Amino acid sequence: MVADDPDARDVNEAVIEEWTAETTPFDRVYQVVRRTYEFESADEIADRARVSPTTARKHLGSLADAGEVTTTRAGQTTRYRRSETAIVTERAEQLLSEHGRDDLSAGIAEMKSRLRAWREEYDVESPEEFARELDVADADTDRGAVLTEWQTTRRNLALAQAALAIDEAAGSGRLTGSDDDDDADVSLTA
């Protein structure tokens, strides 16, 4: 199918029409922003979501208040993208649904062991310190592959730990405020 083919445009237009008919403006803004990893203006998001810029700004403000969106200023323009917290939370929840608590715990132990082994083998504390010791020519060698794997393992460990923390908080009632444990009372005095 060629992009200039009238039938192709008709199919795309039909899909967009169906999407706008079956979703609310908020749903469309949220769907667009969930795939927005670089900062964009409300006008750009509005165009993709098939809403007015005013509607987009309103919903983006609500999403920012909820922690789903982060903002930055570029001159007079506010720019928006998906927040890191929302991305981590979504990924952690996905891990929880795909793997059980026991599997996550075992994976965490294995990743910690791997990280400890790299620290001992290369006599450095972090992949950043290891990277400083590498030459530019090392990037395409086994040492470059170790660096990439070390960084990925550290990120995956953080995500798995976040998943278990969310599971623990949800299971204890701390997220919903239904905790019956009197020992869990926290004083908010300064």
The winner for highest mean pLDDT among 35-39, 131-135, 172-176 is 35-39
Based on the number of CB atoms within 10 Å of its own CB, is 98 exposed (0-12), middle (13-18) or buried (19 or more)?
exposed
Report yes or no on 184 lying in a domain. Answer: no
Task: Tell me the residue type at 168.
Answer: E
pTM over 0.75: no
71, 91: one domain: no
Report yes or no on 138 lying in a domain. Answer: yes
Residues of the chain with pLDDT > 90, as a percent, come to: 63
93, 162: one domain: yes
78, 91: one domain: no
Report helix, strand or coil for 81: strand
Report yes or no on 189 lying in a domain. Answer: no
What span, in angstroms and rounded, lies between the C-alpha atoms of 183 and 174?
12
Is 94 within 8 Å of 87 (Cβ atoms)?
no
95, 71: one domain: no
Where is pLDDT greater, at 18 or 172?
Answer: 18
pLDDT in tens, 105-145: 999 999 999 999 999 999 999 999 998 887 756 667 888 88
Which tokens in the block code for residue 69? 């969106």
- In the chain, what is the straight-line distance between the N-terminal and C-terminal CA atoms, in Å? 66
Count CA atoms within 13 Å of residue 50 on its CB side: 15
Based on the number of CB atoms within 10 Å of its own CB, is 181 exposed (0-12), middle (13-18) or buried (19 or more)?
exposed
Q: How many domains does the chain have?
A: 2
Report yes or no on 143 lying in a domain. Answer: yes
What span, in angstroms and rounded, lies between the C-alpha atoms of 154 and 161?
11
pLDDT in tens, 2-35: 556 666 668 888 999 999 999 999 999 999 999 9
101, 130: one domain: yes
pLDDT in tens, 151-170: 999 999 999 999 999 888 88
- Domain enclosing residue 47, as ranges: 9-82
130, 152: one domain: yes
pLDDT in tens, 41-72: 999 999 999 999 999 999 999 999 999 999 99
Report yes or no on 3 lying in a domain. Answer: no
105, 78: one domain: no
Residue pointed to by tokens 């620290």 = 119
68, 137: one domain: no
73, 21: one domain: yes
57, 91: one domain: no
Strand order in the sheet with 40-41: 40-41, 77-82, 69-74
166, 135: one domain: yes
Q: How remote is the C-alpha of 106 from its chain's centroid?
A: 23
Beta-sheet strands, E only, within the chain? 40-41, 69-74, 77-82
